[in-house]
Structure 1
């Protein structure tokens, strides 16, 4: 698996009727494919998360939508960024992502994390628990999912999950990749070192050097060569040929979430924009090169949250960023 340039479908609050919503998502995935992106990602949320807007914003069930994208695309990899482990029994999840792999001709990636959005858990009746609970559950889940993806029949009796000689057929391959998403330097990174092919690191851009040092330590603890674990960074990107327009998009996006950059202190601005990259294509490319790739990250996942559905923006982003990861 190689994900040097990925694209997460932006928030599903498109200005279209519900009947036109999924055709818009299909068009976005097809544009990403033709623009040179390696992987198309959907978020696995039941409610719209607060970083994007109010909870009642439209949200499609991720794996149903990914299954439909499998027949609407030809070569781009497909994944959730990331699956909330709390939503599905792990053996069933192994079956679901394997079915996606079969349907797509071997293009599925299992992106998975511990889950974090408490409101959707509470209102849908899923147990949320503590951070420790969720990480314990993810650890157990990966001990079931990993062998099932590799053609084995695991038996496991844990605190949270139980399976007995679980069968997972049909499969196309024994190396369906596992992508772990998160920023926890101790437990999450330790799970990545044990189970993952790829780690998508969540943090402010300035924290990347520390995160990579911690990942090196977790890999050393389990005797893994750090270079065998691919990494990527997810950034919220505001891009436009007109840099002033890109900055206005960023300003308006944050203003709708209660942050006025024109009045913010330096500390407030830094916190609000920690995962954001903004400017012209050249500006965005330069920032991602120096602040992300030059730090030792292998790939970039972009969410064009403000204008990703606008004509030409995805293509513009692909042209700007593909040369960085092909270098």
Structure 2
């Protein structure tokens, strides 16, 4: 079982001048410890939760990953996940390509339908109905795949029209950066996983629910004539305090491994210094997690 670290909060320590050094220290500790993936959110306002408010610091995701790429050598890097409404698809393909080239082939495209309407309305991002967001998500997947192929020709979709899909240089990762689709929607999200993705990311809502979602994905794969086993299954475990409930977390990870999950992602607990959290998971979690699966 592999471990990913999801860096979601920039407000600890409180001094904005410490955001960059804390991020750098956390990324270096994570890589040295053997964390397989480092991810950040694609938000411009902090999410409203019982532990956070919109006015907390938030950084643009791909700029942040570029900074992390310069500090690391092995960890996979992606947004968890890119909001489809935030960037034109052709430009998104170039952004991910740039990250891949500059990181030495470590970029992954994480993509989702986007949902945080407050920040979209505040910053002038078009807010469209859910059905249209999924149409745009599928077209974005098609455009990125074409940009990362030998086909430099036009793309004609309902929502996006590209006169050329030239992308030079091509990504270093062969045959292209892997595509991860985040979300658990059974009718649309998991269908798009079966149709286009190399990996899925499910919310850690319990072993039974994840097992059900994977059964749905398996059925979509059968309908799409897609090899279910070829899709990497990952889970974002953001609800459980990892370190204070370590045995319970590891027990759940064992059950997820039996379902075919190969990576779990953890988040620093609210109020914790992320670098200190990374040090603790390196000492307490990773050695035991590596024995699973």
Q: Same fold (TM over 0.5)?
A: yes
Distance (whole Å) between structure 2 residues aligned to residue 66 and residue 74 of structure 1:
13
Partner of 2:215: 213
Q: Which has the higher contact order (CA 8 A, sep 6+)?
A: 2
The SS at the match of 2:192 is helix
Matched, 1:297 2:261: yes
Deviates more, 1:109-118 or 1:146-155: 146-155
Residues 47 and 57 in structure 1, CA contact (< 8 A), matched pair in contact too: yes
Q: CA deviation at 1:170?
A: 1.1
Residues 308 and 314 in structure 1, CA contact (< 8 A), matched pair in contact too: no
Query: Residue by residue, what CA displacement relative to the aligned partner does 1:153-207 show, whole Å, maximum 9, x if unpaired?
Result: 2421212111122111112243211111011111111111111111001251141
Distance (whole Å) between structure 2 residues aligned to residue 88 and residue 305 of structure 1:
30
The 1:77–1:156 alpha-carbon spacing in structure 2 relative to 1, beyond 3 Å, is same
Partner of 1:226: 228
Residues 199 and 231 in structure 1, CA contact (< 8 A), matched pair in contact too: yes
Matches within 5 A, 1:16-95: 16-51=14-49, 52-95=51-94
Q: CA deviation at 1:113?
A: 0.6
The 1:6–1:154 alpha-carbon spacing in structure 2 relative to 1, beyond 3 Å, is farther
Partner of 1:201: 202
Residues 235 and 303 in structure 1, CA contact (< 8 A), matched pair in contact too: yes
> Normalised by the size of structure 2, how large is the TM-score?
0.91
The 1:57–1:33 alpha-carbon spacing in structure 2 relative to 1, beyond 3 Å, is same
Partner of 1:252: none
Structure 1: tracts of 5 or more residues without a match: 241-245, 247-278
The SS at the match of 2:134 is helix
How many residues align structurally? 286
Partner of 2:193: 192
Query: Residue by residue, what CA displacement relative to the aligned partner does 1:228-252 show, whole Å, maximum 9, x if unpaired?
Result: 0011000124234xxxxx3xxxxxx
Structure 2: tracts of 5 or more residues without a match: none
Deviates more, 1:165-174 or 1:125-134: 165-174
> Normalised by the size of structure 1, how large is the TM-score?
0.82
Distance (whole Å) between structure 1 residues aligned to residue 75 and residue 160 of structure 2:
33
Query: Residue by residue, what CA displacement relative to the aligned partner does 1:24-58 show, whole Å, maximum 9, x if unpaired?
Result: 11111111111211110010001101135111111
Residues 183 and 203 in structure 1, CA contact (< 8 A), matched pair in contact too: no
Partner of 2:278: 314
Distance (whole Å) between structure 1 residues aligned to residue 14 and residue 267 of structure 2:
19
The 1:164–1:15 alpha-carbon spacing in structure 2 relative to 1, beyond 3 Å, is same
Backbone CA RMSD of aligned residues: 1.9
Deviates more, 1:97-106 or 1:308-317: 308-317
Partner of 1:283: 248
